[in-house]
Structure 1
Amino acid sequence: MPRTTATPRKRKSKICSEYAHLVPELPNLDLPEGDGEPLESDWHVLQIHLLIELVYQHWEHRTDFFAGGNMFIYYSLEQARSVIEGRPLYKGPDFFVVKGVDGTKPRKSWIVWEEGGKYPDVIIELTSPTTARKDKEENLRLYAEVFGVSEYFWYDPDKDELRGYRLVDGVYEPLEADERGWLWSAQLEAYVGVWEGVYWGRRRRWVRLWDREGHLVLTAGEEAERERQRAEQEHLRAEQERQRAEQLAQRLRELGIDPDL
């Protein structure tokens, strides 16, 4: 996974009862919220932000989910200690969604034992030359056997390759793309696919979402631009109608007919 840009900070962990009787050490851990290391590229930074925004746009009237990206996920004592000691066995995914939680609660990392034992329902990894093997191979086992993630996607921007998997009886089965190259995500209630266009001034190929009807889920900026264009077109139609009415009135006057009668 591309690495975080946050300045390393620590916090005390609170623990749910499900984990307290199993691992007494957990409440006393100081958990870093970031490692201060940069992401792989500007594309990775923007793509993560784009995915987070799209999910919140897609579910704009819902608060029962959390979407995050490039943040630590803590799920076991061994893994948490490895992060604290600076030799992390696992940091976290590029993008993930957890459903059935309080989405209004601020979080700087996802701590499984503080979230009632909940793991992500969807994970999307954005590969790079240094993470490709882990994202395409090793994570299949981790996310299936340890996390139990219902759906896992990865996108390789260098090869323009998108893959998706659905967990069936504890094993990932590949998702089949439709004729458009999109993969249906039952968890996100949307298609996941690749779109070429401009985002934050950069024309690239981006992983995006489409709703059930095949409409592109728009960013807030795209929605504002669409509304601006709609208002502009409406103004143009009104102006054209006014000009037609004025031309008709002028013709009536030329014929000696008062258009106001």
Structure 2
Amino acid sequence: MTQSVDRTIIPPAFPDHTQLPESDGTFVKNFQEHPQSILLTDSLESTLQALHPDGQYAIGQDCGIYWRETDPPERGAEAPDWFYVPNVPPQLDGQYRRSYVLWREYMVPFIAIELASGDGSEERDNTSLSRLPEGVKQKPGKFWVYERIIRIPYYAIYLIQTHELEVYNWVNGRYHRLEPNERGHYPIATMGVELGVWEGSYQNQTQHWLRWWDSEGNLLLTGSELAKLERQRTEAERQRAEAERQRADSAEQTQREAIPKLLAMGLSVEQVAGALSLSVEEVEGLS
């Protein structure tokens, strides 16, 4: 008697970052978003190098974090304006990252930042993903996804129009809004930094910007700011050296003029040297 063997059907593997869309086709909502994201990354570079001497970390800017499979795929992703993931390689198999896929890497982003062009209601949307009738599509809210599914430890919402900053910390399964410290900053203790709002010019825009400070309240500088500071220090040192040279020249000229007058008054070379705090050889050389 011949028995038929049912063939096991193996489901397709979950897609990786090269197989998922890089964008949902929406526009960046204001001109501050891109320079703001660059500013956050640039000024944090030395801190991240100290935290990760092996270089194992990734920064995402308007990149999708895929947390579930959907049709279309981009409905299963959230794209924070800026996020940081510790202890993952900056590239995958030698390729730049096109998105961050949780089911491929498992490491949760440590902090996500949303730059809100509106009143922040979209960024605070706590709509849950519930089971719906067939054919009905509902996209869960950002806040709910970050809090309940991805569980990002720190979530910041910056309201660009009003310069207000909200920072949430994930504790016991829920986000709790943090209070700023005495400097008006929000400490991110594990990273040894503080997040706050700074008014100044960056990339030809004078705005209120999100910036990082160290735990002592010192502003973390960008590469260009560090270079400018170094140029200022070099110029200050040059001016100090030039002033010192001019003082020395002036003192020498005064001594040159004083020596013959003192000698003419009948003082010996030794006496002149003592009066001018010079050696005998210096007096003889200047006379």
TM-score band, normalised by shorter chain: 0.7 to 0.9
Which consecutive unaligned segments of at least 5 residues does structure 1 have?
1-21
Letter aligned with residue 100 of structure 1 = N
SS at match of 2:207: strand
Question: Does the CA contact (< 8 Å) of 1:57 and 1:219 recur in 2?
Answer: no
Which consecutive unaligned segments of at least 5 residues does structure 2 have?
1-9, 127-141, 261-281
SS at match of 1:214: coil
Question: Does the CA contact (< 8 Å) of 1:164 and 1:183 recur in 2?
Answer: yes
Cα offset for 1:203?
0.6
Which deviates the most, 250-259 or 24-33? 24-33
Question: Does the CA contact (< 8 Å) of 1:182 and 1:191 recur in 2?
Answer: yes
- 1:92 corresponds to which of 69, 75, 79: 79
Letter aligned with residue 23 of structure 2 = G
1:158 and 2:123 aligned: no
Please give the residue correspondences for 1:105-254 in structure 2 after superposition, counting only pairs within 5 Å. 105=92, 106-115=96-105, 117-129=106-118, 132-138=120-126, 139-254=142-257
Question: Does the CA contact (< 8 Å) of 1:184 and 1:192 recur in 2?
Answer: yes
Q: Which has the larger radius of gyration?
A: 2
The normalised TM-score by structure 1 is 0.82
Cα offset for 1:134?
2.0
Whole-Å separation in 1 of the counterparts to 2:122 and 2:245: 64
SS at match of 2:212: strand
1:74 and 2:66 aligned: yes
SS at match of 2:259: coil
**What per-residue deviation string (whole Å, max 9, x for no partner) do you get for residues 33-68 of structure 1?**
234543111111111111122222322343122111
Structure 1 31/120 Cα, relative in aligned 2: closer, same or farther at 3 Å? same
**What per-residue deviation string (whole Å, max 9, x for no partner) do you get for residues 4-35 of structure 1?**
xxxxxxxxxxxxxxxxxx97452489311234
Letter aligned with residue 223 of structure 2 = A
Cα offset for 1:133?
1.3
Structure 1 205/23 Cα, relative in aligned 2: closer, same or farther at 3 Å? farther
Report 1 or 2 for greater relative contact order, CA contacts < 8 Å, sequence distance ≥ 6: 1
**What per-residue deviation string (whole Å, max 9, x for no partner) do you get for residues 215-234 of structure 1?**
10100000000000000000
Partner of 2:38: 49
Cα offset for 1:148?
1.0
Whole-Å separation in 1 of the counterparts to 2:79 and 2:206: 28
Whole-Å separation in 2 of the counterparts to 1:146 and 1:155: 22
Cα offset for 1:104?
5.4
Partner of 1:14: none
**What per-residue deviation string (whole Å, max 9, x for no partner) do you get for residues 159-196 of structure 1?**
21101111111111111101221111124321000000
Question: Does the CA contact (< 8 Å) of 1:166 and 1:173 recur in 2?
Answer: yes
Partner of 2:5: none
Partner of 1:13: none
Whole-Å separation in 2 of the counterparts to 1:24 and 1:121: 30
SS at match of 1:173: strand
Whole-Å separation in 2 of the counterparts to 1:125 and 1:95: 7
The normalised TM-score by structure 2 is 0.75
Question: Does the CA contact (< 8 Å) of 2:183 and 2:217 recur in 1?
Answer: no
Whole-Å separation in 1 of the counterparts to 2:244 and 2:217: 34
SS at match of 1:205: strand
